[in-house]
Chains A and B, each alone.
Chain A
């Protein structure tokens, strides 16, 4: 576990030689020891093609590579930070919510249309995720930012969890998501309950929800 939570808004990461760490550019607060920060023009891992892929997808957050030996503290914008440990499964998260992650994790971009077709694209628009989202796979930990505190809701088969798209942060595991609409005539005449769109997550895994409907 390379990330240690100092308080709810700061984390400390141990950097050892031979192990890389990626973090959002400018998110370093302080460091001890001999640590170098190199801006990562490729915006993550992979070759030129994956870089172009991220550019096109708009998932190219400026990242930097952290190497050396010592400890680094990260924090950004006073947002709450949630450390998620991955054990072989895939985490789906918006690129701008990523604060830092282990270099051992395999980074990728997923086209939302590949899950659910046209509804997947609509879902991306409604949730503000866009058409693409970032995936991280492997063994390691990820620090994710959210406005307000984060709660983790487990998803078990046969008991789907519905999430407000604006409060959705990330999810991992073998989870299928679809946008469910509860639009009725009340919404048409402007008397909606404000909960017209919901993200329905089913399968097995966990979803992270923030205590706010505000974006970062």
Chain B
């Protein structure tokens, strides 16, 4: 909703720029400079995310909004309004995508003035700052994002099936903060072109950066006989970026064989 409003606002500004162009050239209206123009975007009140302990997220808002997992509010002071949204992208296309992919994120929009505390099933919370890059995260591990961040759904292929999360994953893109949850404190592992990383699909939480991923399988003759080591599949990350791993494993197909 918020992103839509912002889009409309920029649209209006673009139109007013056109009008101004008839008179004289406004340097701020060229697309490249427009994105650098530190005007309304920075004047806009931004919710501040803060961790209180490792399991509670405190978000201070001044009239702006955040998107959070449905029902994850534990307390608030001041004035807050809660409204259900639907994740997986905006508009009709997003709705169709959600229906098809099953990556239905139950999201609510929280708007108001004051502090709102979020927590979910005593999961550990990690804050991620995004500066225009993209974060891939499982919908069930996403707790809260800045309203300015765009969320969408992407196809992950076989990896999704192996990690026990379905074939699709949620993407978060833009500039702002996001809070992701993990079962136990998450470890951030750096991937560089020289050092690729293999991760257990059940322990994978999220990744960001310019990474290629593919599923590698260690299925051998022994696995087929039922003598596997319980590590039949791994996700291999190559490129440059960060991978978030939790010290716990979801139930996966790979973990059973």
Q: Does A207 contact B (CB under 8 A)?
A: yes
Known A162-B76, A195-B82, A195-B108; judge A148-B71 contact (CB<8 A): no
Chain A, range 195-216, C-beta contacts under 8 Å to B: 195, 207, 209-214
A153 contacts which of B73, B75, B80, B106 (Cβ < 8 Å)? B75
Q: Does B30 contact A (CB under 8 A)?
A: no
Inter-chain contact B75/A194, CB cutoff 8 Å: no
Known A164-B73, A193-B82, A207-B75; judge A212-B108 contact (CB<8 A): no
Contacts of A186 in B (CB 8 A): 83-84
* Distance of A150 from chain B, by nearest CB (Å): 8
How far apart sit A163 and B116, CA to CA, in the bound complex (Å)?
10
Q: C-beta contact mask, B75-90 vs A, less than 8 Å → 1, else 0?
A: 1111011111000000
* Distance of B8 from chain A, by nearest CB (Å): 23
B122 contacts which of A159, A161, A209, A211 (Cβ < 8 Å)? A211
Inter-chain contact B77/A195, CB cutoff 8 Å: no
* Distance of B142 from chain A, by nearest CB (Å): 15
Inter-chain contact A209/B84, CB cutoff 8 Å: no
Inter-chain contact B74/A161, CB cutoff 8 Å: no
Known A182-B82, A186-B84, A209-B117; judge A193-B70 contact (CB<8 A): yes
Inter-chain contact A149/B77, CB cutoff 8 Å: no
Known A159-B78, A186-B84, A213-B121; judge A195-B52 contact (CB<8 A): no
Q: Does B55 contact A (CB under 8 A)?
A: yes
Inter-chain contact B54/A213, CB cutoff 8 Å: no
Inter-chain contact A211/B53, CB cutoff 8 Å: yes
* Distance of B190 from chain A, by nearest CB (Å): 29
Interface of A is mostly: loop
Inter-chain contact B71/A151, CB cutoff 8 Å: no
B83 contacts which of A149, A162, A193 (Cβ < 8 Å)? A193
Inter-chain contact A161/B121, CB cutoff 8 Å: no
Contacts of A192 in B (CB 8 A): 84
Interface of B is mostly: strand
* Distance of B254 from chain A, by nearest CB (Å): 28
Chain B interface residue number, banded = 20 to 34
How far apart sit A153 and B80, CA to CA, in the bound complex (Å)?
17
Chain A, range 141-184, C-beta contacts under 8 Å to B: 147-149, 151, 153, 159-164, 167, 182
Q: Does B120 contact A (CB under 8 A)?
A: yes
How far apart sit A149 and B53, CA to CA, in the bound complex (Å)?
8
Inter-chain contact A161/B84, CB cutoff 8 Å: no
Contacts of A151 in B (CB 8 A): 52-53, 56, 117
Chain B, range 35-63, C-beta contacts under 8 Å to A: 52-56
Inter-chain contact A164/B75, CB cutoff 8 Å: yes
A159 contacts which of B52, B72, B77, B120 (Cβ < 8 Å)? B77
A164 contacts which of B52, B74, B106 (Cβ < 8 Å)? B74
With both beta carbons as reference points, the residue of chain B lying nearest to A212 in the complex is identified as B122
With both beta carbons as reference points, the residue of chain B lying nearest to A192 in the complex is identified as B84
Q: Does B119 contact A (CB under 8 A)?
A: yes
Inter-chain contact A212/B82, CB cutoff 8 Å: no
Known A149-B53, A194-B70; judge A162-B75 contact (CB<8 A): yes
Contacts of B55 in A (CB 8 A): 148-149, 211-212
Contacts of B74 in A (CB 8 A): 163-164, 167, 209-211, 213
* Distance of A158 from chain B, by nearest CB (Å): 11
Known A147-B122, A148-B122, A193-B82; judge A161-B76 contact (CB<8 A): yes
Inter-chain contact A160/B77, CB cutoff 8 Å: yes
Q: C-beta contact mask, B112-145 vs A, less than 8 Å → 1, else 0?
A: 0000010111100000000000000000000000
* Distance of A145 from chain B, by nearest CB (Å): 13
A209 contacts which of B75, B81, B106 (Cβ < 8 Å)? B75
- Contact surface of B with A, Cβ cutoff 8 Å: 52-56, 70-78, 80-84, 106, 108-109, 117, 119-122
Known contacts A149-B55, A162-B80, A194-B84, then 8 further A-B pairs from the complex at CB < 8 Å, ordered by chain A residue: A153-B117, A193-B71, A209-B74, A209-B75, A211-B53, A212-B121, A213-B121, A214-B121
26 residue pairs of the A-B complex, CB under 8 angstroms, read: A147-B122, A148-B55, A149-B56, A149-B122, A153-B117, A159-B77, A163-B74, A164-B73, A164-B75, A167-B74, A167-B75, A182-B82, A193-B71, A194-B71, A194-B72, A194-B82, A209-B75, A211-B74, A211-B122, A212-B55, A212-B119, A212-B120, A213-B71, A213-B74, A213-B120, A214-B121
